[in-house]
A and B are shown apart, each in its own frame.
Chain A
Amino acid sequence: MAGLRESLAELGHELRQQRLRALLSLSGVAWGTLSILLLLAFSVGFAELFARRQQGLGTGIAIAWPSRTTKAWQGLPPGRRIRPTHDDIRALALAVPGLEALSAEFVAGERLQVGARVLRVELSGVDPEFGRLRQLEPRPGGRFLNAADQDGRRRVVFLGDDLARSLFGADEPVGRTLLLREAPFTVVGVLRTKEQDSDYGALDEDRAFVPAATFADVYGTRLVNNFVYRAADPARQEACTDRIVQALAARLRFDPTDRGALGLWDTTEEQRMVATIFLAFHVVLGMAGVFTLLAGGVGIANLMFLLVRRRTSEIGLKLAVGARPAQVRREVLVQTLVLVGAGGTAGAVLAAGAVALARSGPWIAETGVPRIPTALGAGAALLLLAVGVLAGWFPARRAAGLDPAEALRE
């Protein structure tokens, strides 16, 4: 570009003449950039914390439990209890296309015993996919229940982390045995500590899980208490639910349109709602930052108008010796962009520093871990570019439109 170095030297010279004004205008842009980045970094961190807690129960899952029919069907009256078995639930895997994962769940209150210690807990009998659905990650050294456990009806148990501590204290529970209805069960895994803000019955940290087949054996029952599933495509969850009702209706003989026969908790609905609320939250905070930055841009535009006025005769001279108006315009635009870039960089550095500090504070349990996602950084950079072009456009046009003879008389 023609004379970039000279053009920047000019800018530097002018700024030294206008230190205070320059400092104020630059800090306006820096402050605006800082506001955008900080507000959104914290709002993103908070949203992520919230999502993590919400997903402690499982991401995008639905929990369904058998209820009573609400419609008459083939001469049978409404109000009949439906009683799906483990086989009925397993059949859904084939009957309902688009299911990503599915697990039956048996539930019972039960006493677990280790040595002299006896605890009453919520015990679940579940299929291997339950771990994936409900975010039951094992701690290193252990594992969740698997297909071999189920097929062999093994006496194995997966423990919530809190429960494991209560039963075994500081000892490593994996490999140890506990007594369940007088029968020894081997601990195969312990839940890795997780955030969870909702549950049905008890938090996972206090629960024990055994294979569904084992549970059915021990209790001599085939009737499931509920089942958990997730559509491969979150947008198809509703459709999957309809297909599940139809498939169960065929096996258990009720009206295939009787949605009321199943109790349903579809977490995707609330997750969608929360996502919308946070989006609105981001937008409001982002706009607050954007307006601060725009105010900074107005300050820069003012400064550039002032510089153009102070340099009127110099610009006139440049035009007189043959500078094209487009060249003069570009010089002023580039100077403005450099100013805005400098202010923006200062703001970004401050924001990055503040975020780095805030990430290690004791407050992150409540605020979440703030971060500046790449998209936010890129968005801020684009916004700065737009503000720079806007702030420089009119001063640049004024400079380029000067009449040399007139300007030189100044």
Chain B
Amino acid sequence: MPEPLLALRGVSKVYARDGAPVRALDGVDLDIAAGEYVALTGASGSGKSTLLHILGCLDRPDQGSYRFAGTEIASLRPDALARQRRAVGFVFQAFHLLPRLSAVDNVALPLRYSGVAPAVRRARAVEVLRRVGLGDRLEHRPGELSGGQQQRVAVARALVGAPSLLLCDEPTGNLDSRSGVEVIELLEELWREGCTLIVVTHDPGLAARARRRVSMRDGRVVGVAEQER
């Protein structure tokens, strides 16, 4: 069997902020193959975001091993780690758009750090915004866009570096159901084009659309289910 794209072994993460330590992840083992579509579910506080951050190399496990395409992430030096992050598209529940930048500048932000020439950056950002259906909102600032539109800008920003892995943390959590469906359909379209897609959600309807469902409780994986559609 070929090595999976993502391989977690005994991954634990403990937060020791004021008072009792919180074991956000507790010995997680998980393999995800290239091209999969996985839904990550569980109650609030069960460790989904922590796990997603580790998968996106935004955070490091305290214990255990995380291998991405065969590379042990803990062994990466800062520059290599930054390059690794560029290979991942991350969509945050809270959007995290910069309020003073236009949609197109927000989307172009990651390219600023990967050595792409300014003119090319803008062209690529425009292309991706058209792709997510915001070709007519290029110069709007986040404050001038609806929640659904903002999340689509965030998806465009995740896409602009042409990542092979898309990680989405409750991408529809702050949206009404219609915008939510639009966003999830956009993500699925990207998955069909070959992207590996991992979506955190506690909407059972959305979770049911994925091919595999991973359930979490108290920092542990408590169930993995293959799903037919």
Interface positions of A (Cβ within 8 A of B): 2-3, 5-6, 13, 313-314, 317-327, 403-406, 408
Contacts and interface: CB of A to CB of B under 8 A. Distances in A.
Interface residues of B, number: 25
A325 B113 CA distance: 10
Contacts of A323: 82, 112-113
A321 B79 contact: no
B9 interface: no
Given A404-B58, A405-B59, A322 B98 contact: no
Contacts of B114: 322
A396 to B, nearest CB: 14
Nearest to B49: A405
A144 B133 CA distance: 93
B106 to A, nearest CB: 10
Interface of B: 53, 56, 58-59, 78-79, 82-83, 85-86, 90, 92, 96, 98, 100, 105, 109-110, 112-115, 118, 157, 161
Contacts, number: 63
B96 A313 contact: yes
A321 B110 CA distance: 5
6 contacts: A2-B115, A321-B85, A321-B157, A403-B59, A406-B59, A408-B58
B177 to A, nearest CB: 26
Q: Which 9 A-B pairs have the closest CB atoms?
A: A322-B86, A321-B110, A405-B59, A323-B113, A324-B82, A3-B112, A405-B58, A405-B53, A322-B85
A364 B30 CA distance: 83
Contacts of B113: 2-3, 318, 321-324, 327
A2 B112 contact: yes
A127 B85 CA distance: 86
B86 A317 contact: no
A327 B92 CA distance: 23
B85 A317 contact: no
Nearest to B84: A322
A319 B88 CA distance: 12
A125 B151 CA distance: 100
A373 to B, nearest CB: 41
Contact of B96 (A5, A13, A324, A408): A408
Select the residue from A5, A318, A325, A405 with max chain B CB neighbours within 10 A.
A405
Contact of B83 (A5, A317, A322): A322
Contacts of A2: 112-113, 115
Given A2-B113, A3-B113, 16 more contacts: A6-B105, A314-B98, A318-B109, A319-B58, A319-B82, A320-B56, A320-B58, A320-B85, A321-B109, A321-B110, A321-B161, A322-B114, A403-B59, A405-B53, A406-B59, A408-B96
